[in-house]
Amino acid sequence: MKLRALGLCLLGLGWLVPGCAPREDRAGLVRRAVGPATRSGWARLPLDGPAQAARASLWLGDEQGRPVAARWAPENAGPARPLACSGLLLGRDGAGRPSAEFSLQAPYGGPGPRQELQLQFQCEAGAPWAARVQVQRRLPGSGYLTLEQEPPPVLYDFGPSGSRLGFSIPWEAPGYRIVLEPVQGSPRLLGLTVQASPAPAAWADSLRLEPRREPLPGGPGQRWRLTLPAPERIAGLLLELEPPVAPCAPRLRLPGPAGGTPGPLLAGPGLVWNLPALDSAATQVSLDPVVTGELELELPEGVRLAGVKLLVRREVLLFPAEAGRTYFLHAGGRVKTAPGSLEALPGAGGRFPEAALALGPAEPDPQGLALLRTAEDRSRAWLPWAAGLAVLVLGLAALRLLKT
C-alpha cells in the first residue's frame, strides 16, 4: 500500500515536471504567397501593415520551405542630404560658356537607388540672363557622356521678376560637367551646392493617407494635430497651401507628454510654397521615417493650409527570384536563415526593379518554425509556483504514508 501511494505521488510529480519543459506553439504561424515573378532577376516586395508589424519574425522561402536569401532595400524616401564636391572647377569652357566640373563624395556610399541630385548655383551677372543647361556625366572607365533631357533645364535670373538657379538630374555617376548655353546675358558661376534626394519614382510604394486634422492653440503660427487610425511608418507629408505663399519652412513634432510640453522636433522638413504667378509650387516635405499615429504640424503665421496628406513608406524586401516560381513570406515563428549574405554580392547595391511583387492572403504555415514556450514565459509565470506547491503537498503526503 505504501509503495502504491508513493508511486502515485511520483506519477503526479512526473505529470507536472514536463509542463515546465519547452513546448512548441504553432498557433501564430502564417505564410503568404509571393509572386510569381515574370522574369528572373532581382524582385522587389513591398510589405503591407501586417507584414511590417511581424518584421522580427519574417523570412522568405520557396515552395519546399527552404529559406531564400533576401535583404532590406536601402531607405530611398528620406530627406535630402548634402554631398561634398571634390575637384570643383568653376569657369568657362573653350567656347566661353560658363561651366562647372566636379566629382561627388557620398558619406554613405555611392549613388543611391532611385535617387536624384539637386544642384543649386550661386551666380553673378550685371544684367538679367537666361541659359539652357547641358549635363555631361563621367561613368567609371569612360569619358564624359551627354545626358539627354527633353526639354533641357533652363536657369535664369530676371531680378525682381523671379529667378531659377537650380535643377535636378538622376544620380547615375560619380562625376559631372555642367555647361550653361547663354540665351540672354552670360552669368559668372561663383559656387555650387549638391544634395541627394529621393527621385519622384522612389515614392511609388508610398501610401497617401489623409489624417484627422485638429487645430491646436498657442504659438505665433498655426498648429494642428494630425492623427491616423493606427501607428504607421511616416516618411513625409504633402502640404497644399492656399496661394500666394513664398517658400516657408514647416515644423513637425512628435506629440508631447500630458501638460502641454512640446514634443521633440523632427529633422528633415524642407521648404513648401505656392506661387501661381511664377507657375511654381512645392508641396512635399520628407522626414527620417518615424513610426507614430500622431504628428504636430506648425506653419508660419499667415500661411493658410488647404490640405495635408501623410506619406506612409512601406519597407521593401529585395531577393533573387526565378521566373515563374512562387515564394512564401513566413511570419509568427522563429526565423529560418538562408546561408551567405547578399550584401557581399557584386552589384547588390544597384538600382532595383520598378515592378513590385504582391503578397497573397495569410494561411496556416506548415513549413514554419514553431515558437518554443517555456515556464519562463510571462503568460505562464504562475506555473513554477504551482508546480512547487504541488510537489511539496505530494511530498508531505508520501512522507505521511511512509510513516504509517
Which sequence spans correspond to the domains of the chain? 2-22+374-403, 29-73+315-367, 81-201, 205-312
Q: Do 81-201 and 205-312 agree at the fold level?
A: yes
* pLDDT tens digits along 249-303: 898 988 877 656 777 788 666 778 898 887 778 888 878 778 788 999 999 988 9
pLDDT band at 314 (very low <50, low <70, confident <90, very high): confident
381 has pLDDT over 70: no
Average pLDDT rounded to a whole number, residues 174-188: 90
Q: What is the pTM of this model?
A: 0.51
* pLDDT tens digits along 340-364: 888 777 655 545 666 788 899 999 9
Instruction: From residue 241, give the alpha-carbon distance in Å to each of 219, 244, 282, 309.
Output: 19, 8, 9, 12
For residues 231 and 228, give the distance between their C-alpha atoms in angstroms, rounded to a whole number: 7
Half-sphere exposure of 379 (CA within 13 A, CB side): 4
Phi-psi region at 303: left, alpha or beta (left = phi > 0; alpha = psi -120 to 50): beta
pLDDT band at 204 (very low <50, low <70, confident <90, very high): low
Grid cell, residue 290, equals: 518615424
pLDDT band at 84 (very low <50, low <70, confident <90, very high): confident
Does the domain at 205-312 match CATH 3.40.50.300? Answer given as no
CATH of domain 81-201: 2.60.120
Q: Which residues pair with 21 in a beta bridge?
A: none
Average pLDDT rounded to a whole number, residues 26-32: 90
pLDDT band at 110 (very low <50, low <70, confident <90, very high): low
Dihedral in degrees, nearest 10, Cα atoms 286, 177, 348, 106: -60
pLDDT of residue 30: 94
